[in-house]
Structure 1
Amino acid sequence: MDITEEQQEIKKEFQLERVILFSDAIFAIIVTIMVIDIKLPEEARNLANSEIPHEFLRLFIKLMAYAASFFLVANFWMRHLKIFSFLRDYNKGLVIFNLLFLFAVSLFPFAVSLITGSFKMHSPIFTWGVNIYIGVILSSLMTQTLLTWYMVTNKAKLCINNNNIDRILQWKAQRVNLYLVPFIGLLVLFFNYFDMQPIFSLYSAALIGVVNARLRRVYYPKIKTKSD
């Protein structure tokens, strides 16, 4: 029996909903895995009173790392939600770019475990942990930028509200990430290879936010009303 146009649309909507639900499930699992790691070790029950503050300090550092990572993951999720709000259809390319993005974001629990596993700020393992953590952020940002690029490039086929997608997603400002993120990634590798302090990597990664904010003000200035 031939499938009618209405049935085809219903099937398409159902399949697109599965893509979105799968993405949301990955984000939920990431947050859950990160918070599960925040707990005192079993041997803490037998510690002396003088050792307990040290264990709670370790727990506090894990909590702070979780809070920062939760904010970053939530920011990626909110951006993902905005991107997918334009979709009316999907294709293989979109699914592949979305999976690449989800793979990058799913590495956050691993990265968090690295930076909370050592308290010696100048130790090699801490430096590696911070650089890998920054690498996960850069990978997530890069893959999400590629996902946005693919949607904007194929907006006539995949998206509704085609005339406004570039402005709402602020693509003119965001497209610099296609070149800036790989450059910063190479800098992080350079700093890690020569065992330089992770603060250099942090400053380099922060540069992306500064450049993006500056370009947003240039390309998308806020229009002041008379009431302002």
Structure 2
Amino acid sequence: MDPFHNELKKEFQLERMILFSDAVFAIAITLLVIEIKVPELAEEHFTEKELLKSLGHLMPKIVGFLISFFLIGNYWMVHHRLFGYVVNYNKRLLWINLLFLLSIVLMPFSTGIFGEYSTPQGLYLKTPLIIYVLNICFIGFMLYRLWSYISNPVNQLAEHLPHPALVRVAKIRALLVPAIFLLSIPVSFIEPPFLSRYVFLLVFPIMRIIQKRADKKLKFQPQS
């Protein structure tokens, strides 16, 4: 088989892996909304007040859906950017990527449990939060493994990678998001328990600080 044919075959197989990954993300992000059911009112309760009350009961599920929607969307964008550098693949990369996709496809399940028990009474249950946070940790760890494996020059999988400082930031982000979510577990033991949900909001300012520090470091980096 000539080198040109080998190169075309490699590109085709790599494209298949990326398309499969995109399909998994699309399915997972779509399945999130299935947990949000349209409220059904009894005929004698067909009033605006009852409808708004029923919609209010859906708010915990809607909040859980929105958190997971933007998380999966963010992970898809990172995955898309990372695989934009990939020009080769091997069996180990296939397995690491497959495990990463497994962590993504579990999100509708963990989000469903998290949203179902985010009611005032359910907030006192720790298991739904733990399941959700562990899912985020699984995603973060596998994303870290993807960055580490692909960016390692020994593996010869990528070309034109960003500056090493930016690769380090990407790795830190992959682990820091799960770390912040993990912090919500001990906070859930503090009264009132809904405080644990606000810990998630720390992700955004911390990510911004890390990015600013990386940009500042790159600014003073001598041009090669």
TM band (smaller chain): 0.7 to 0.9
Question: 1:70 is aligned with what amino acid?
Answer: F
> Would the alpha carbon gap of residues 202 and 154 (structure 1) be closer, same or farther in structure 2, given more than 3 Å must change?
farther
Task: Give the structure 2 partner of residue 171 of structure 1.
Answer: 167
Question: 2:108 is aligned with what amino acid?
Answer: P
TM-score, normalised to structure 2's length? 0.78
Task: Give the structure 2 partner of residue 9 of structure 1.
Answer: 7
Number of residue-to-residue matches in the alignment: 216
Question: 2:141 is aligned with what amino acid?
Answer: M
Task: Give the structure 2 partner of residue 219 of structure 1.
Answer: 214
Provide the identity percentage.
29
Say yes or no: does 1:44 pair with 2:47.
no
The Cα shift of 1:148 comes to 0.6
Maintained 8 Å contact 2:114/2:132: yes
TM-score, normalised to structure 1's length? 0.76
**CA–CA separation in structure 2 for the residues paired with 1:198 and 1:97:** 35
> Would the alpha carbon gap of residues 40 and 125 (structure 1) be closer, same or farther in structure 2, given more than 3 Å must change?
farther
The Cα shift of 1:143 comes to 1.4
**Structure 1 stretch 70-79 or stretch 207-216: which is displaced more?**
207-216
**CA–CA separation in structure 1 for the residues paired with 2:201 and 2:6:** 46
1:1-228 matches, cutoff 5 A: 3-40=1-38, 44-46=41-43, 48=45, 49=47, 51-118=50-117, 120-123=119-122, 126-154=125-153, 157-162=156-161, 164=162, 166-167=164-165, 170-176=166-172, 187=183, 197=193, 199-200=195-196, 202-203=198-199, 210-221=205-216, 223=219
> Would the alpha carbon gap of residues 122 and 195 (structure 1) be closer, same or farther in structure 2, given more than 3 Å must change?
farther
Maintained 8 Å contact 1:187/1:201: no
1:216 counterpart SS class: helix
Q: Deviations over 1:5-58 (max 9, x none)?
A: 1111111111101100110000110121112332225x5355624643332223
Stretches of 4+ moved more than 4 A in 1?
A: 177-192, 205-212
**CA–CA separation in structure 1 for the residues paired with 2:119 and 2:35:** 20
**CA–CA separation in structure 2 for the residues paired with 1:77 and 1:99:** 14
2:116 counterpart SS class: coil
Question: 2:147 is aligned with what amino acid?
Answer: T
Maintained 8 Å contact 2:114/2:128: yes
Q: Deviations over 1:182-211 (max 9, x none)?
A: 76676556566x6873534752x5556555
The Cα shift of 1:116 comes to 2.4
**CA–CA separation in structure 2 for the residues paired with 1:47 and 1:155:** 70
Maintained 8 Å contact 2:143/2:174: no
Q: Which runs of 5+ in 2 are unaligned?
A: none
Q: Deviations over 1:145-183 (max 9, x none)?
A: 221111111476111214x3535xx22223345775676
> Would the alpha carbon gap of residues 17 and 178 (structure 1) be closer, same or farther in structure 2, given more than 3 Å must change?
closer
The Cα shift of 1:215 comes to 3.2
Q: Deviations over 1:69-104 (max 9, x none)?
A: 211111110011000000101112211211121111
Q: Which runs of 5+ in 1 are unaligned?
A: none
